[in-house]
């Protein structure tokens, strides 16, 4: 389905309900509908590069928008958390970050436009004594060593996915909260709680000088003592 009723769209999509019944529906991909923003909505309604959906489509089809360093020509392409949107003609780049009500974009420096943090959500061994790391945004990275752990994060170079740094979900490392009341906030891990039976694994974080328990699945490690990248305004 290429269109979605505007009233059914997530609240954080900045689309007006006046005069229009339908809006863009995100293409199938690694992000759920309420965890992404269709590229055309970013172009038209957030970055204001177009006044209509037709104009937004034309800009995207003209190969003028990059996501994570690669040209994307699908107006419905789902742009999700920590993805980097670049407009080469304007020499501007933006990163998608979480906040209490969903997702939003922040402008980032040119030096950061080729960097992204990816969370390892799974891994498996493959032919040639290599290991495939499955990342939270659907990307896969092949590595030679079996040292990378699930729930850890990689700082990578875009678009070639060269690994620049690695940090586990461990004490003193820095995390970005991606869901719940603290979504969008940055914390420091002070304790790791392993899951038992039907209890999901959690971390205890210091967020704004308060101790808060967060599910591991609702956090992404974004650095060690300091964040690797800009994730707040």
Other CB atoms within 10 A of residue 5 CB: 12
What is the spatial distance between Cα 169 and Cα 163, in angstroms, rounded to a whole number? 17
What is the spatial distance between Cα 231 and Cα 48, in angstroms, rounded to a whole number? 22
Q: What is the CA radius of gyration of the chain?
A: 18
What is the spatial distance between Cα 61 and Cα 71, in angstroms, rounded to a whole number? 10
Q: What is the pLDDT of residue 14?
A: 72
Walk along the chain (233 residues) and give the pLDDT tens digit of each residue. 455 445 445 565 576 544 455 467 778 777 777 788 999 999 999 999 999 889 999 999 999 999 999 999 999 999 999 999 999 999 999 999 999 888 999 999 999 999 999 999 999 999 989 999 999 999 999 999 999 999 999 999 999 999 999 999 999 999 999 998 999 999 999 999 988 878 899 999 999 999 999 999 999 999 999 999 999 98
- How is residue 184 written in tokens? 């969008």
For the sheet with 174-177, list strands across it.
210-215, 202-207, 186-193, 174-177, 219-223
Q: What is the pLDDT of residue 17?
A: 47
What is the spatial distance between Cα 36 and Cα 34, in angstroms, rounded to a whole number? 6
Task: Note the maximum CA span of the chain.
Answer: 58
pTM of the model: 0.89
């Amino acid at each position: 389905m290429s269109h979605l009723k505007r009233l059914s769209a997530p609240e954080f999509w900045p689309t007006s309900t006046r005069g229009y019944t339908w809006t863009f529906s995100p293409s199938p991909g690694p992000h759920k509908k309420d965890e992404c923003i269709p590229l055309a909505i970013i172009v038209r309604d957030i970055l204001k590069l177009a006044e209509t959906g037709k104009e937004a489509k034309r800009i995207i089809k003209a190969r003028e928008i990059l996501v994570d360093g690669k040209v994307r020509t699908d107006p419905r392409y789902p742009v999700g958390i920590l993805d980097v949107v670049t407009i080469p003609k304007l020499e501007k780049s933006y990163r998608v970050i979480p906040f209490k009500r969903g997702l939003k974009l922040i402008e980032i420096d040119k030096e950061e436009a080729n960097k992204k943090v990816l969370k390892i959500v799974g891994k498996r061994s493959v032919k040639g004594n290599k290991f495939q790391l499955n990342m939270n945004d659907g990307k896969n990275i092949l590595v030679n060593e079996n040292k990378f752990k699930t729930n850890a994060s990689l700082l990578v170079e875009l678009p070639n996915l060269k690994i620049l740094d690695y940090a586990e979900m461990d004490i003193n490392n820095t995390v970005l909260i991606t869901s719940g009341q603290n979504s969008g906030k940055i914390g420091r891990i002070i304790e790791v709680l392993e899951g038992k039976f039907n209890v999901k694994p959690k971390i205890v974080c210091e967020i704004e000088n308060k101790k808060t328990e967060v599910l591991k699945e609702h956090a992404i490690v974004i650095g060690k003592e300091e964040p690797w990248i800009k994730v707040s305004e």
